[in-house]
Amino acid sequence: MTDLADLTIVAAGRGLRSGEFSSVDLLDAVTRRASITEAQLHAYLTLDKKGARSAAEAADAAFADGKDVGPLQGIPIALKDNMCTIGVETTAASQMLAGWKPPYDATVVRRLKDAGAVVTGKTNLDEFAMGSSTENSAFGETRNPWNPDFVPGGSSGGSAAAVAVGSAFGAFGSDTGGSIRQPAALCGVVGMKPTYGLVSRYGLIAFASSLDQIGPFARSVEDSATLLDAIAGWDRFDSTSIDGAVPNFSGSLDGGVGGLRIGIVSDLMGEGIDTQVRGAVSGMADKLSEAGAEVVEVGLPSTEFALSAYYLIAPAECSSNLARFDGVRYGHRSNVEGTTEDMMSHTRAEGFGPEVIRRILLGTYALSAGYYDAFYGQAQRVRTLVRRDFASAYEKVDVLISPTSPTTAFPVGERSADPIAMYYSDVCTIPSNLSGEPAISVPIGLDDKGLPIGFQVMAPSLGEELMYRVAAAVESISEFTKRAPLASSEVVAP
């Protein structure tokens, strides 16, 4: 008998509707799974047992009344702890916000609740989403469910790990430079970043506003599309949200790759990419071509500079966004005696961890008079070049493919003392953040250490349907259904 915690969202939804089990049963299954895995994993910062229980009971009551608001009704879902949840602690994994309970729900959270989802709790992350390993959390790191000596990736490592072990059926994270796709790759689950503006950022604690996007983690491509369906679309509370018709993503999975032109990004297949990762990605490219796609090599020459541009733009925006944490309105306030300025500077020194401080210093410097054009201005020009590279690639091909991460998971502690090595983890994911275009990571196999390898599919702006169609083909070709050893059994396909 399959443990309910191992079902996909789609399979769980079928069981709920046939009356085979209830939403409370599903919640009990993920809670049981969390009680087995959390001691080693630490995927969650907060488990909202009471709130989840009453949401699950409400979903069961709705089913009993014949009310059905859609595929997420009664499904336990986790949220990265940088999304505001009314009355439930939201910390961004920072001492600065320890104990803070937001007075409102983020738009994504409100939409999930309206869709009948059961919010299980808040997952761990690198402080303020700055990092690639979830080691920068002020409340202890999350571990990789395939091998707890390794990192889960980051910054949404808690969400990725929870979905991988079945302590949630799906989860949401935020992706500024790869924070959904890279941990998804390292934990063997599906993670996607939507087109900038497709999903509201209202209530997401801001890191770098021109790059931040919320997106889903799931155990199948179909689940991922189902989760995106529930949250996408215009929001009057986010001035950058796109006002337009939203397609039905979960209805866009069939069709295969026959006749499609697929570009494999040569600049992301060379030096610095682990040989096993490269081998798995080119093996998949061959299979896509056997399945009827025309696969060609495509260059994105400016990607060479994308990482450097990102590590100026993101810190610059973060230095501005994080200026609000000054001890005055909310969050930590230092007890130091002295002037207001003393209070503010001590508050910030006490509340922020070392990586956040490094980013604020870098960003403030890059924006300062006399340096602005040389650093920030130059980085913005590189961003334009990256966008142009993508635009000219999409004149030749329909979608682009690459590894998601240059390596599989790395040991805990290995890169934490070396920021440059850590930053390099994002080399394959950052270009799509700079261009604002959608991208997804799909697991395609394991390396010889038994750690998952992620395959990235990138598409033009608002090309999610095509991206999902290719991702579904990759998923079915790879037949990757293995589950992290920390979870007990196999995922049941829908």
Position among 131, 188, 351, 403 found at the interface with ligand GLN (CB under 6 A): 131
Tell me which residues in 188-207 interact with ligand GLN (CB under 6 A). Answer: 207
Q: Does 317 bind ligand GLN (CB under 6 A)?
A: no
Of 115, 91, 219, 92, which Cα lies nearest the Cα of 160? 219
- In the 8-state DSSP scheme, what is residue 204? B
| CA–CA distances in Å: residue 179 to residues 94, 303, 381 | 17, 18, 24
Of 171, 129, 124, which Cα lies nearest the Cα of 143? 124
Smallest distance, ligand GLN to C-beta of residue 330, A: 22
Q: How many residues does the chain have?
A: 494
Of the candidate spans 127-135, 164-172, 374-382, 412-420, the one that interacts with ligand GLN by CB under 6 A turns out to be 127-135
Of the candidate spans 124-132, 268-276, 295-303, 459-467, the one that interacts with ligand GLN by CB under 6 A turns out to be 124-132
Q: Does 405 bind ligand GLN (CB under 6 A)?
A: no
Other CB atoms within a 10 A radius of the CB of residue 306 amount to 28
User: What amino acid occupies position 295?
Assistant: V
Of the candidate spans 54-62, 126-134, 319-327, 376-384, the one that interacts with ligand GLN by CB under 6 A turns out to be 126-134
Q: Does 437 bind ligand GLN (CB under 6 A)?
A: no
Q: Does 214 bind ligand GLN (CB under 6 A)?
A: no
Q: What is the DSSP string of 376-400?
A: IIHHHHHHHHHHHHHHHHHHH-SEE
Q: Does 221 bind ligand GLN (CB under 6 A)?
A: no
Position among 22, 94, 132, 303 found at the interface with ligand GLN (CB under 6 A): 132
Position among 314, 360, 444, 451 found at the interface with ligand GLN (CB under 6 A): 314
Residue 268 token pair:
């992301």
Of 224, 270, 216, 235, which Cα lies nearest the Cα of 402? 270
Of the candidate spans 30-38, 175-183, 326-334, 436-444, the one that interacts with ligand GLN by CB under 6 A turns out to be 175-183
Q: Does 179 bind ligand GLN (CB under 6 A)?
A: yes
Smallest distance, ligand GLN to C-beta of residue 220, A: 23
Angle, CA 124 vertex, CA 320 and CA 358 arms, to 5°: 35
Q: Does 178 bind ligand GLN (CB under 6 A)?
A: yes
Smallest distance, ligand GLN to C-beta of residue 417, A: 15
- Does 392 sit behind a cis peptide bond, omega within 30 degrees of 0 on the bond before it? no
| CA–CA distances in Å: residue 141 to residues 31, 40, 59 | 20, 10, 33
Catalytic residues, by residue number, are: 80, 155, 179
Smallest distance, ligand GLN to C-beta of residue 409, A: 14
Binding residues for ligand GLN, rule: CB under 6 A, are 129-132, 155, 174-179, 207, 314, 426
